[in-house]
Chains A and B, each alone.
Chain A
Amino acid sequence: MDNQLQATPICGRHRALNALMAPFGGWDMPIQYEGIIAEHSWCRTSSSLFDICHMGEFIFQGDFEAGGLEDVFTFSVKTIPLGRSRYGFLLNEQGGIIDDLIVFRLAEDKVMIVVNAATAPKDFAAIKGRLRGGVFTDITAATGKLDLQGPLSRYVMVELLGEEVATIPYFKFITMNILGVEAIVSRTGYTGELGYEIFIPTEKVCELWDLLLTDERVKPAGLGARDVLRLEVGYSLYGSDIDEETTPLEAGLEGFVNFDTSFVGRDALLRLKDQGVTRKKVAFEVAGRRSPRHHYDLCSGGEVVGNVTSGVFSPMLGKGIGIGFIKPELTAIGTPLTISHERVSMEATVCELPFFKDGSVRA
């Protein structure tokens, strides 16, 4: 066992369930319990519980403009309505993505910033370096996070936690009392299904985990299923699909960049917009059950024209799917590609996202 790995409060329960554990973002995390495909199907049809305590949470309190927070992300913080959250990026000077994150507007002068586990320390340093005032704190250790995702999640939440969950719209959240403490329940997730992300003080997170699992419609799911679920709906994974060498323009995520705001990386993105990108995100379906995998080559006319950044066998589509980066002229829907790696070769076709279109996310 790697002593450097951090463990979430739920770790003992994962082991008791005989989960397969592996390092992820510096944490010892459950990859699967009964099996990735079984857990994936359960989430698409019922309700799955994920331990997401590894993700980072920061609080900023103060004047967003005077404190400098307004210029940190690719979107405006002050225009997020109370009780709503917004997805976007923290960029470097070159426009590369330091992290993708969600900002929750908790109060007139207060937000919570939710970031990826592996990048949390560098995110904190980058944000802090750009602030001119306000109080900025890392509350990761004090904050437990559980995701309940799947079409039946609303019924489970209402029955176990309270009626007020019933009417939370997509990308809105409420603060409510759970197990005697104040918790945040947000209608967001990473699966393409109706679901919730729950933020609760660390000391109560095991009790909440146990409570949610008392409902027979709920089963635990690991990061393996989570990766298949997110890829089927085309969500990017930081570290695989996007990183500091990739800009939101190349990654097809320009919709989460507001050029009317000022932010670090804006000038670089405007220059790149002007010049045009040399590679662009592409989604493709394989003819058959083979899986494209990270680092496999994307080829056209016998030449390597790009690379796969995420790929998997999609249980919903019954074939291999993937995303990668390629010369922009080859991103038209229907373009044939060959995916190649050592002895492996498979034919694929450029398609639109999401791969799986029937999720309950907005139900």
Chain B
Amino acid sequence: MSMYFTKEHEWVKVEGNLGTVGISDHAAHELGDITFVELPKIGAVVKQFGVLGSIESVKAASDIFAPLSGNVVKVNDALELAPEAVNESAEGAGWMAQIEIANESELKNLMNQEQYNDYLKTL
């Protein structure tokens, strides 16, 4: 199982043809207290780097972009009532959606953990 990141601070964990998506610990920390998560609909077709949903904190509202193209097969409903789970565990229990990956070759457009850590140092 490997984890990949976008420059917009989304992550995707790839297991077989499924990708679990969320925002990074760094992004959650930057947003501060998260108060609302807009999840995609199950069955939605998303494109790599297209809008997947949105997230709001006390400070700001921002879009969440899909790290990979595919079909949304599962969403984390628990976030509707408890979006603070994203602050508590952005890269775990705070996952947002699971995508059936359409094209695995798109992974080349993402960063691995080490590259993402380096990227964070440049910000």
Asked if A291 and B36 sit within 8 Å, CB to CB, the answer is: yes
The verdict on B1 contacting chain A, using a C-beta distance below 8 Å, is no
Q: Mark B95-119, 1 if CB is under 8 A from A, else 0.
A: 0000000000000000000000000
Question: A interface, by DSSP: helix, strand, loop or mixed?
Answer: mixed
Q: Is A263 an interface residue (CB 8 A)?
A: no
Among candidates B33, B36, B56, residue contacting A37 with C-beta atoms closer than 8 Å: B33
Q: How far is the CA of A313 from the CA of B84 in the complex (A)?
A: 13
Interface size on B, residues (CB 8 A): 13
- The distance in angstroms between the C-alpha atoms of A288 and B35, with both chains bound, is 10
- The reply on A36 being an interface residue by CB < 8 A is yes
Residues of A within 8 A of B33 (CB): 35-38
| Closest Cβ neighbor of B36 among chain A residues | A289
A249 is an interface residue with CB less than 8 A from chain B:
no
The reply on B83 being an interface residue by CB < 8 A is yes
CB contacts under 8 Å to A, within B47-75, are 51, 54, 56, 58-59, 61, 63
State whether A290 touches B36 (Cβ < 8 A): yes
Q: Which residues from chain B contact A312 at a C-beta distance below 8 Å?
A: 58
Q: A343–B58 contact, CB under 8 A?
A: no
Q: Is there contact, CB below 8 Å, between B36 and A313?
A: yes
Q: Mark B66-90, 1 if CB is under 8 A from A, else 0.
A: 0000000000000000010000000
Q: Is the CB of B54 within 8 A of A313?
A: no
Structural contact, A313 and B56, CB atoms closer than 8 A: yes
Specify the main secondary structure of chain B where it touches its partner: strand
Interface string of A74-116 (1 = CB under 8 A from B): 0000000000000000000000000000000000000000000
Q: Give Cα A32–Cα B60 distance, bound, in whole angstroms.
A: 14
Distance of B75 from chain A, by nearest CB (Å)? 16
Task: Assess whether A228 is interfacial by the CB under 8 Å rule.
Answer: yes
Q: How far is the CA of A291 from the CA of B63 in the complex (A)?
A: 14
Say whether, besides A36-B59, A289-B83, A343 and B35 are in contact (CB < 8 Å): no
How far, in whole Å, are A224 and B32 apart by their CA atoms in the complex?
11
Chain B residue, CB-CB nearest to A346: B36
Tell me if A291 and B56 are in contact (CB < 8 A). Answer: yes
Which of B35, B54, B59 meets A344, CB within 8 Å? B54
Chain B residues with Cβ under 8 A from A35's Cβ? 32-33
Distance between Cα atoms of A70 and B15 in the complex (Å): 74
Contact residue among A20, A31, A293 (Cβ-Cβ distance under 8 Å from B61)? A293
Instruction: Please state if A290 and B56 are interface contacts (CB–CB under 8 Å).
Output: yes
How distant is the Cα of A49 from the Cα of B28 in the complex, in angstroms?
Answer: 26
Give A344 to B83 CA distance when docked, in angstroms.
18
Considering the chains assembled together, what is the distance between the CA atoms of A313 and B32 in angstroms? 13
A347 to chain B, nearest CB (A): 14
Question: Which residue of chain B lies nearest to A313 when distances are taken between CB atoms in the complex?
Answer: B35
Question: Which of A31, A288, A313, A343 has most B Cβ within 10 Å?
Answer: A313
Nearest CB on B from A309, distance (A): 16
Q: How far is the CB of B76 from chain A (nearest CB, A)?
A: 15
Collect the chain A residues with CB atoms within 8 Å of residue B59's CB: 31, 36, 224
Name the interface residues of B10-68: CB closer than 8 Å to any CB of A: 32-33, 35-36, 38, 51, 54, 56, 58-59, 61, 63
In the complex, what distance in Å separates the CA atom of A11 from the CA atom of B32?
A: 21
How far apart are the CA atoms of A32 and B63 in the complex, in Å?
23
CA distance A293 to B35 in the complex (A): 13
Contacts of A224 in B (CB 8 A): 32, 58-59
Interface centre among B51, B58, B59, B83 (most CB of A within 10 A): B58
Going nearest first, the 8 A-B pairs with the smallest beta carbon separation are: A313-B35, A289-B36, A37-B33, A36-B58, A290-B36, A36-B33, A35-B33, A291-B56
Give residues in A with beta carbon < 8 Å to B. Answer: 20, 31-32, 35-38, 224, 228, 288-291, 293, 312-313, 320, 343-344
- Point out residues on B near A: beta carbons under 8 Å: 32-33, 35-36, 38, 51, 54, 56, 58-59, 61, 63, 83
